[in-house]
Structure 1
Amino acid sequence: MPAGTAAVAGVPPLARPAPARWRGWLGRLAPHLVLWPPLLVSVLHVVSFTAYTTWISFTPSTLLPEYDWVGVQNYVSVLNSRNWKIAYSNLVIYGCGFVLLTTALGLLLAVLIDQRIRAENLFRTIFLYPMAVSFVVTGTVWAWLLNPGIGIQHLVRGFGWAGFRFDWLVDREMAIYTIVIAGAWQASGFAMALFLAGIRSVDADLYRAAQIDGAGPWRIYRRVVLPCIGPIFIAVLVILLQFAIKTFDLVRALTGGGPGLATQLPTLVVYDLMFQRGLLGRGAAAAVMLLLSLLVVLLPYFAYARWRKRREARHG
């Protein structure tokens, strides 16, 4: 570079690239500054409060925390309580019904939308919309629909069918299935989105090969598509099981755990022990056992995902 050029600019030639180096350095650092501090704060928050709750579960805490050690006494009390046993029995019924019905509806909707129908984006939005609604709103709306005095039963009887009955909401034997219906209505769109993404990712050559062999649509989905989206099935089942175990506000708004204890779930037992009966130690013990229930679902999934990744790496 000529000397006159540097003199006109008033800056030594070697100093010019410095701003570019600083901009590149800041550009590489900015994503880490945006991502890691909030992530570390969230992890610290979750880990610290989980550890504190676990500690409280081994103390005789009631309305206020106490720090004397009582061992597993709170866990034994919770496990032997009638409410907890009923709550876990209800969780098994609700979890199985919710997962199966949501998976079936999600897969059916995904297959129907995969037929390249008109207004596909509109239908996908409609089916996904319930997931954007809070569980409290869902529970409240379904409580109106299932209320025998103002809901579906009242409407049908108004048309002259006086013998029609749909009073599951107040029936001890059937109330748990009202939660299954409401939960499946809200989550089936989510399952549909995952299944549809999996179906659309199947290699088109497999479709063409099956069609050349004379396979019809039903056989193509059964023999070609569904085996290819096996990992999607596992992911959907794990996510839905998490939803089922953590269900609280939907039940609280829809049935309140009743009639009686017919729809009581473990999350409601935790709420009742901690915030209504003031048994902080027992409530913490119930919360820890609920966390262990989640780990029973998540750890096998993580182990499977790791095994599958290693297998693909070996055969890749």
Structure 2
Amino acid sequence: MSARPDADFQTRLQNLLPKLVLSPSLALIFFFVYGFILFTIYVSFTDSRILPFVGNGGVPAYDLIGFSNYQKLFSLSHWEIALTNMAIFAGLYIVICSALGLMLAIFLDQKIRGEGVLRPLYLYPMALSFIVTGTAWKWFLDPAIGLENIVQTWGWTSFTFDWIKNRDFAIYTVVLAAVWQSSGFVMAMFLAGLRGIDNEILKAAQMDGASNWNLYRRIIIPQLRPAFLSAFVILAHLAIKTFDLVIAMTGGGPGRATELPATFMYSYTFSRNQMGIGASSAVIMLMTIAAIMIPYLYAELREKK
């Protein structure tokens, strides 16, 4: 006996309904995300300004100039400073967050009392925006009203901590604030990995006389490789696109001591009226993130297959 036409229609409608519901959102994502990515790549090959010259017929005139913007970009000392600061910031940020997150995760994995209170406390900074974090750390590190002033008020008049005003150390204050915000999130990733390790393996190693040091070095930490890889990808992505933390905390200063590629891109696009160079720096940032994300996604999809 053949199925009723009404039943076939309902089945097709049920299969089509999710696509109809999601299609407006997908269309907006493709236009405002991927469409503007392609537009940025195009602008990076033009001599565009923030307000491009309007030619005949009211059409914006974007004259293609090839790779000239990229050549100018890598000849600028400001871009070299931004890349150097990014190397310092990203390196310290990833390493310290990973090490601190792992230590906190191992500490909480000992089934200590108060874990239910400590875990939210460690995760709380991640709930704050980078603007809030940057503003709070700016006040805390300001020599006039922050830590230095408080310690001197207590009687230690020779104490100084003016890193945020010092060209040589300002970038490390940005690292400090970023680590404070992100290490709890990394801790949660490692803690989930630790809780997923088979206890039977650990008990067998302990019965064979393995010390706690060898237990972590040879068994536990190697099994956290996926968590390490995920943490690296997330932290590297956050480091490359760091903008609001720097703007709120130092404004890229003193001088250009805390200039990063994201702040460089904003400055050249909206302050210096050189959208072509700003777009080319954005494309370089996109390529860097893609160089990190694509191998990671390929490895994840390959493992699932």
TM-score between the two structures when normalised by the length of structure 2: 0.90
| Alpha-carbon distance change, 59 to 307 in structure 1, aligned in 2, over 3 angstroms | same
Corresponding residue for residue 162 of structure 2: 167
Q: Shift in Å at residue 31 of structure 1?
A: 4.0
Amino acid at match of 1:149: A
Corresponding residue for residue 116 of structure 2: 121
Alpha-carbon deviations, 1:179-201, whole Å to 9, x = none?
Answer: 10100000001101111111111
Q: Shift in Å at residue 308 of structure 1?
A: 4.2
Corresponding residue for residue 32 of structure 2: 45
Q: Shift in Å at residue 62 of structure 1?
A: 1.2
RMSD: 2.1
Alpha-carbon deviations, 1:155-186, whole Å to 9, x = none?
Answer: 11111111111111011111100010100000
For the pair 1:267 / 2:262, whether they are aligned, the reply is yes
Give the Cα–Cα distance (whole angstroms) in 2 for the partners of residues 214 and 42 of structure 1. Answer: 56
Alpha-carbon deviations, 1:284-306, whole Å to 9, x = none?
Answer: 11111111121222223234334
| Alpha-carbon distance change, 41 to 142 in structure 1, aligned in 2, over 3 angstroms | same
Corresponding residue for residue 67 of structure 1: 62
For the pair 1:78 / 2:60, whether they are aligned, the reply is no
Corresponding residue for residue 5 of structure 1: none
For the pair 1:154 / 2:141, whether they are aligned, the reply is no
TM-score between the two structures when normalised by the length of structure 1: 0.87
| Alpha-carbon distance change, 33 to 115 in structure 1, aligned in 2, over 3 angstroms | farther
Corresponding residue for residue 313 of structure 1: none
Corresponding residue for residue 233 of structure 2: 238
Alpha-carbon deviations, 1:100-149, whole Å to 9, x = none?
Answer: 11111111111111111223222111111111100000000000111111
Q: Shift in Å at residue 25 of structure 1?
A: 5.5
Answer with 243-252 or 65-74: which moved more: 65-74
Give the Cα–Cα distance (whole angstroms) in 2 for the partners of residues 43 and 201 of structure 1. Answer: 37
Amino acid at match of 1:120: E
Amino acid at match of 1:51: L
Corresponding residue for residue 274 of structure 2: 279
Corresponding residue for residue 55 of structure 2: none
Q: Structure 2 matches for 1:290-301, cutoff 5 A?
A: 290-301=285-296
For the pair 1:212 / 2:207, whether they are aligned, the reply is yes
Give the Cα–Cα distance (whole angstroms) in 1 for the partners of residues 290 and 10 of structure 2. Answer: 44
Give 3-state SS (helix, strand or coil) of 2:70's partner: helix
Answer with 185-194 or 42-51: which moved more: 42-51
Give 3-state SS (helix, strand or coil) of 2:107's partner: helix
Give 3-state SS (helix, strand or coil) of 1:63's partner: coil
| Alpha-carbon distance change, 308 to 170 in structure 1, aligned in 2, over 3 angstroms | same
Corresponding residue for residue 57 of structure 2: none
Alpha-carbon deviations, 1:26-82, whole Å to 9, x = none?
Answer: 555444444454234313422110111111111111132331111111111111111
Give the Cα–Cα distance (whole angstroms) in 1 for the partners of residues 114 and 21 of structure 2. Answer: 38
Give the Cα–Cα distance (whole angstroms) in 2 for the partners of residues 235 and 248 of structure 1. Answer: 22
Give 3-state SS (helix, strand or coil) of 2:38's partner: helix
Corresponding residue for residue 195 of structure 1: 190
| Alpha-carbon distance change, 207 to 29 in structure 1, aligned in 2, over 3 angstroms | farther
For the pair 1:250 / 2:245, whether they are aligned, the reply is yes
Q: Shift in Å at residue 154 of structure 1?
A: 0.9
Give the Cα–Cα distance (whole angstroms) in 1 for the partners of residues 232 and 27 of structure 2. Answer: 29
Seq. identity, %: 45
Give the Cα–Cα distance (whole angstroms) in 2 for the partners of residues 231 and 92 of structure 1. Answer: 24
Give the Cα–Cα distance (whole angstroms) in 2 for the partners of residues 45 and 61 of structure 1. Answer: 20
Give the Cα–Cα distance (whole angstroms) in 1 for the partners of residues 169 and 49 of structure 2. Answer: 35
Amino acid at match of 2:91: C
Q: Shift in Å at residue 245 of structure 1?
A: 0.3
Give the Cα–Cα distance (whole angstroms) in 2 for the partners of residues 234 and 111 of structure 1. Answer: 18
